[in-house]
């Protein structure tokens, strides 16, 4: 009797324990089954993404090949255009000579009463010559744009495969475009812009600070060419000269053009307007210039202010260390390595013996420079701009 009193609860407890173990085992099996399904689903999604990426890469490759074919066709059309332009120029020259010879013959054979008609014809001829010159300039600009398109076609490459890591060319993007301007006891910096193809070779322009050019010309002469030192990656240097194209004293900006060489040089990649508008305070930047006449030196810092007004002109303030001689050098975005500004001014402290404050430099943002370039007729230097260079021969007013 006593055994039956505790045996029944014991059996019930054992039955409950076995039932719990069975339930726990079923839950574990269900969990393992769910995990397996999730793993299979994830694998399926990864496969789909890989297939989609491969299909997109193939589609891009096909599009690029089609683009190359179109650009090759454009190159053939460019050759025909060059022949047409050359023929047009010959016709212009022949027409001018025939009209001038005819006028000379009329002057010797016609009476004085015909002089009024001769003057009117001469004025008309002058007007026609001006229009022909304008047409000739437009043809030259169009050829340059076609040459630039051809160069772009050569540089087009197929997209990189997934997982390929592209190492940034720090020297080519930051150091190579930095050059030194020196003369008449003044030293400063400048930035080489992308070279543009011409009939003779390449045309290279530079951005710098106007006060650097002004001070050099004060020492060398008002019409003197600006000495330019170009630095190569192997440590060697080249000595070139540049002429002034245009300048803005209030903004403290100047555009130069190399006049002593038709070669292609390392060039800064200019930031687009969209990139410039997205730049905020605290973003990393590099200042690259030739302080105190040294070779190009890069310094790292941050953008401290994007709306620092000086005499009505908007500047960016940077914390990258700068010194005398950095003026005219480039300010580059650290991530994209694109040119975003031109260094202009240094802060100093004290009056009797001013001390340079190296971490409070001021730069002209390219957003301001682009508007100025467009107004001067050099809109083709601005990224994403299709306007031709219509002011290639225009000199700056003094």
HSE, side-chain direction, 13 A CA sphere, residue 299: 20
> What is the model's pLDDT at position 146?
56
Tell me the percentage of the chain whose pLDDT exceeds 70. Answer: 67
* pLDDT surpasses 90 at 305: yes
Per-residue confidence band for 167, with pLDDT thresholds at 50, 70 and 90? very low
* pLDDT surpasses 50 at 323: yes
Express each pLDDT in 210-221 by its tens digit. 999 999 999 998
> What is the model's pLDDT at position 351?
75
Express each pLDDT in 82-101 by its tens digit. 666 666 666 666 776 777 67
Tell me the percentage of the chain whose pLDDT exceeds 90. Answer: 41
Q: According to the per-residue pLDDT averaged within each range, which of 70-79, 104-113, 167-176, 230-239 is highest?
A: 230-239
More confident residue, 54 or 239: 239
Give 280: exposed, middle or buried? Use CB within 10 Å, 0-12, 13-18, 19+: exposed
Q: For residues 233 and 259, what is the distance between their CA atoms, to the nearest angstrom?
A: 22
163-167, 199-203, 270-274, 378-382: which range is least confident on average? Answer: 163-167
Contact 395, 378 (CB under 8 A): no
Give the DSSP per-residue string, 334-389: TTT--EEEEEEEEEEE-SSS-EEEEEEEEEEEHHHHHHHHHHTT-GGGSTT-----
Beta bridge partners of 315: 308
Average pLDDT of 24-44?
Answer: 68
Per-residue confidence band for 176, with pLDDT thresholds at 50, 70 and 90? very high
Q: What tokens were used for 154?
A: 């050569």
> What is the model's pLDDT at position 347?
84
> What is the model's pLDDT at position 151?
45
* pLDDT surpasses 90 at 226: yes
> What is the model's pLDDT at position 18?
77
Contact 289, 331 (CB under 8 A): no
Contact 368, 250 (CB under 8 A): no
Give 336: exposed, middle or buried? Use CB within 10 Å, 0-12, 13-18, 19+: middle
Express each pLDDT in 122-139 by its tens digit. 666 666 655 555 555 555
Q: What tokens were used for 72?
A: 């090759």
Average pLDDT of 325-342?
Answer: 95
Give 257: exposed, middle or buried? Use CB within 10 Å, 0-12, 13-18, 19+: middle
Residue 17, CA distances (Å) to 10, 14, 21, 325, 363 in order: 10, 5, 6, 86, 79
Per-residue confidence band for 223, with pLDDT thresholds at 50, 70 and 90? confident
The residue among 241, 347, 329 whose CA lies nearest residue 292 is 329
pTM attached to this predicted model: 0.57
Phi-psi region of 293 (alpha: psi -120 to 50; beta: other; left: phi over 0): left
User: What average pLDDT does the chain have?
Assistant: 78
3-state secondary structure of 34: helix
Q: For residues 125 and 17, what is the distance between their CA atoms, to the nearest angstrom?
A: 115
Q: What tokens were used for 320?
A: 């990258």
More confident residue, 184 or 118: 184
162-176, 216-230, 232-246, 320-334: which range is least confident on average? Answer: 162-176
Q: For residues 113 and 106, what is the distance between their CA atoms, to the nearest angstrom?
A: 12
Express each pLDDT in 64-75 by its tens digit. 777 777 767 666
> What is the model's pLDDT at position 61?
79
Taking the CB of residue 177, how many other CB atoms lie within 10 A of it? 28
């Amino acid at each position: 009797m006593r055994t039956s009193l505790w045996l029944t609860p014991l059996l019930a407890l054992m039955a409950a324990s076995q039932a719990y173990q069975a339930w726990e085992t079923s839950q574990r099996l269900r969990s393992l089954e769910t995990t397996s399904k999730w793993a299979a689903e994830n694998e399926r999604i990864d496969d789909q993404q890989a297939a989609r990426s491969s299909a997109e890469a193939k589609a891009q490759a096909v599009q690029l090949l089609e683009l190359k074919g179109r650009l090759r066709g454009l190159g053939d059309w460019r050759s025909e255009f060059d022949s047409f332009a050359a023929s047009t120029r010959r016709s212009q020259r022949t027409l001018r000579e025939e009209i001038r010879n005819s006028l000379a013959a009329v002057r010797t054979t016609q009476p004085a009463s015909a002089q009024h008609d001769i003057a009117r014809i001469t004025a008309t001829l002058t007007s026609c010559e001006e229009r022909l010159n304008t047409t000739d300039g437009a043809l030259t600009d169009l050829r340059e744009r076609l040459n630039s398109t051809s160069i772009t076609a050569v540089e087009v490459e197929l997209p990189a495969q997934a997982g390929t890591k592209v190492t940034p060319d720090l020297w080519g993007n930051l150091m190579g475009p930095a050059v030194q301007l020196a003369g008449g006891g003044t030293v400063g910096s400048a930035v080489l812009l992308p070279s543009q193809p011409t009939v003779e070779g390449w045309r290279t322009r530079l951005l710098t600070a106007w006060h650097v050019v002004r001070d050099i010309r004060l020492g060398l002469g008002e019409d003197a060419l600006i000495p330019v030192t170009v630095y190569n990656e192997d440590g060697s240097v080249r000595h070139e000269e540049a002429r002034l194209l245009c300048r803005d004293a209030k903004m403290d900006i100047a555009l130069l053009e190399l006049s002593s060489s038709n070669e292609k040089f390392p060039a800064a990649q200019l930031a687009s307007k969209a990139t410039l508008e997205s730049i905020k305070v605290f973003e990393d930047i590099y200042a690259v210039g030739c302080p105190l006449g040294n070779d190009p030196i890069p310094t790292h810092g941050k953008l401290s202010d994007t709306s620092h007004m000086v005499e009505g002109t908007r500047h960016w303030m940077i914390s990258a260390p700068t010194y005398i001689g950095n003026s005219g050098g480039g300010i580059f975005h650290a991530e994209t390595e694109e040119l975003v500004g031109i260094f202009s001014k240094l802060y100093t402290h004290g009056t009797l013996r001013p001390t340079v404050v190296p971490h409070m430099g001021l730069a002209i943002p390219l957003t301001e420079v682009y508007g100025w370039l467009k107004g001067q007729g050099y809109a083709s230097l601005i990224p994403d701009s299709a306007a031709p260079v219509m002011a290639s021969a225009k000199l700056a007013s003094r």
